[in-house]
């Protein structure tokens, strides 16, 4: 189903897409968001706007999306199931569309335990699978989640979802990805890839089922600033795998930040050249947005395609 999304046009044209991520701030100024958007503008096709990531209160993803859009970059509004019931979700989706947002990424969301409001109540009225399904139905069948008709101006989003090849049970990860595609996901961004071997096995299973022909998969990559950051993720973040070799390589580097960028570029080149079925990369430079243009350029992904 066609939408007005620029990202969709690029992916449907068969071009290798590049998306990045902008994390809204813990305050009410958009200055930083706008700075990052302007800096990335010519280097990415769209940027995710995270939705209170790690359950920390931040400027809203939809509001941030408007700022990003006004800087000439297409936003992908992230929407988690943690903080809104189905009423609030639909209301925000209608609002987001009215403000020009054309891409939505549906996620469960990190548990509030990890954030700055661990005593809050989570919602999870619906899960990410259901959000994908109902977003598609809103667009294609003009129905609210309840089944009531949307008489006019239904939101027509390009629907994204996430997949984590590093979570368990591994054998079911590809099946669950397929379930998301059947529910209506049109593009997939993966969790940060550090364990390339595991990602290759995942993609092999994806290809066996022919899923890569039904959805656009963007491989998630993250440049690391230090071996301590890598070690922290290795030990403390559930659903991520960081091989020891990567930690060691950063540890032994003279300039670990440079090394982190080099590793990221190597990964992108490797994925693009060697792993069939991957249609783009999603660069998650967490709290390090400045480095995105260099990574994109040196990975041979610059300039970005122009879309009418």
Residues that bind another protein (CB under 8 A): 81-82, 86, 108-111, 113, 122, 124-130, 133, 145, 162-164, 166-169, 172, 175-176, 178-179, 182-183, 191, 238-240
Matching residue, tokens 């990574």? 295
**Two structure tokens written together for 73:** 């970059």
CB of 134 to another protein, least distance (A): 8
Nearer residue to another protein within complex by CB, 129 or 295: 129
- How many other C-beta atoms can be found within 10 angstroms of the C-beta atom of residue 19? 26
CB of 9 to another protein, least distance (A): 28
**Distance in angstroms (rounded) separating the CA atoms of residues 178 and 245:** 31
Name every residue whose Cβ is closer than 8 Å to that of residue 132 and which is 6 or more positions away in sequence: 106, 159, 161, 180, 183, 184, 185
CA distances from 252 to 55, 245, 257, 265 (A): 33, 10, 12, 18
CB of 166 to another protein, least distance (A): 8
Nearer residue to another protein within complex by CB, 28 or 236: 236
Nearer residue to another protein within complex by CB, 48 or 191: 191
CB of 41 to another protein, least distance (A): 29
CB of 112 to another protein, least distance (A): 9
Nearer residue to another protein within complex by CB, 182 or 262: 182
CB 77 within 8 A of CB 49: yes
CB of 30 to another protein, least distance (A): 29
CB of 240 to another protein, least distance (A): 8
Nearer residue to another protein within complex by CB, 33 or 76: 76
Nearer residue to another protein within complex by CB, 182 or 294: 182
CA distances from 37 to 30, 40, 67, 172 (A): 10, 5, 8, 36
**Distance in angstroms between the alpha carbons of the first and the last residue of the chain:** 18
Which residues are paired to 139 by β-bridges?
none
Nearer residue to another protein within complex by CB, 3 or 164: 164
């Amino acid at each position: 189903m066609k939408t007005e999304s620029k990202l969709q046009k690029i992916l449907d044209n068969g071009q290798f897409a590049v998306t990045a991520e902008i994390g809204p701030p813990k305050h009410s100024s958009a200055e930083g968001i706008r700075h990052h958007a302007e800096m990335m503008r010519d280097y990415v096709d769209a940027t995710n706007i995270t939705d209170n990531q790690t359950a920390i209160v931040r400027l809203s993803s939809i509001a941030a999306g408007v700022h990003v859009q006004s800087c000439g970059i297409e936003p992908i509004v992230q929407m988690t199931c943690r903080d809104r019931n189905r009423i609030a979700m639909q209301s925000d989706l209608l609002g987001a569309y009215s403000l020009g947002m054309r891409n939505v990424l549906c996620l469960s969301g990190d548990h509030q335990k990890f954030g700055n409001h661990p005593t809050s109540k989570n919602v999870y009225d619906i899960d990410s699978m259901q959000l994908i399904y109902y977003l598609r139905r809103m667009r294609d069948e003009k129905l609210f989640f309840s089944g009531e008709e949307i008489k006019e101006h239904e939101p027509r989003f390009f629907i994204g979802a996430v997949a984590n090849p590093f979570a368990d049970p591994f054998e079911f990860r590809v099946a669950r990805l397929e379930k998301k595609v059947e529910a209506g996901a049109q593009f997939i961004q993966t969790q940060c890839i550090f364990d390339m071997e595991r990602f290759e096995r995942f993609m092999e299973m994806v290809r066996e089922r022919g899923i890569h022909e039904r959805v656009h998969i963007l491989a998630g990559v993250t440049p690391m600033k230090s071996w301590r950051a890598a070690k922290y993720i290795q030990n403390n973040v559930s659903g991520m795998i960081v091989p020891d070799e990567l930690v060691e390589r950063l540890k032994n580097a003279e300039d670990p930040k440079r090394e982190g960028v080099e590793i990221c570029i190597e990964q992108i080149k490797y994925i693009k050249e060697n792993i069939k079925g991957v249609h783009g990369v999603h660069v998650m430079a967490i709290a390090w947005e400045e480095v995105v243009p260099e990574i994109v350029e040196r990975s041979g992904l610059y300039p970005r395609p122009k879309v009418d």
